[in-house]
Amino acid sequence: MKVGMNFDEMTVAEIVTNNIRTADIFKKNGIDFCCGGNILVEEVCKKKSVDYTQLKEEIAALDAAEVTHKYDLWELDFLTDYIINTHHSYVTEASALILEYSNKVAKVHGHHYTEVIEINNAFHKIAEELSNHMYKEEMILFPYIKQLAHSKKSGESINAPAFGSIQNPINMMELEHDTAGDLIKEIKSLSNNFTPPAEACNTFRALYAKLEEFQNDLFTHIHIENNILFPKAIKLESELFNTK
């Protein structure tokens, strides 16, 4: 919150205008932050039977500093679990919300801002692409990486996978990363670097803010896999099969 602002005296619309990321919290709690946002937060919480104190704490937590992780020091099995529980979970949850926002904005504003229709189409592609991509990682590649990590710790041998060298699925995953990266860059360009029009409604603004957040998470996600997980997994497989 900005200095001098009193949360208890602010409307939902004012809170969202001050920090567009709060839109997700209101949305999760079934609170209209767009057309019906001109109401005090505490008042709408009473009407919706939402825990006002908890909602305030969630909003305050948005300003908390992010933890810096030293991914390169983590064991590969732990790192794969982290990617699934943090980044894959985020993609699943954020995609559903973004699609809801994007569909609405395209329908309501697409006649005037034609770029939002293209953005909607592009995000539908990226959501489907990443859903299939993450399924393959969770069902095929990551379990094998965890087998490699277990073999290193236990000394037990493992059989060569049906896909041959781990380099084969990794090549495919990296190509799919490139596709997702190109799509989010296209969205960034179409949205003028995620900058909504001055007269945009809160849903429009929330969409662009969420897309920028999605981009930032995706780039971190891809970095961890392409530059840390995959090279270390390739190296480990080579070490294990050359010594057994």
- Mean pLDDT computed over 70-94: 94
49 and 76 inside one domain: no
Number of structural domains the chain divides into: 2
183 and 160 inside one domain: yes
Q: What is the CA radius of gyration of the chain?
A: 22
19 and 131 inside one domain: no
Query: Is the pLDDT confidence value at 35 over 80?
Result: no
Q: 243: pLDDT confidence band, cut at 50, 70 and 90?
A: very low
- Rounded to two decimals, the pTM is 0.79
121 and 26 inside one domain: no
What pLDDT score was predicted for residue 3?
Answer: 47
> 205 lies in which domain range?
71-242
Mean pLDDT of the chain: 90
In a domain, 103, yes or no: yes
In a domain, 2, yes or no: no
- Mean pLDDT computed over 133-143: 97
106 and 45 inside one domain: no
140 and 218 inside one domain: yes
175 and 84 inside one domain: yes
Whole-number Cα distances in Å, 70 to 67, 177, 221, 228? 10, 22, 14, 11
Query: Is the pLDDT confidence value at 65 over 50?
Result: no
First to last CA, the chain: 59
Residue 5: count of CB within 10 angstroms of its CB: 11
84 and 197 inside one domain: yes
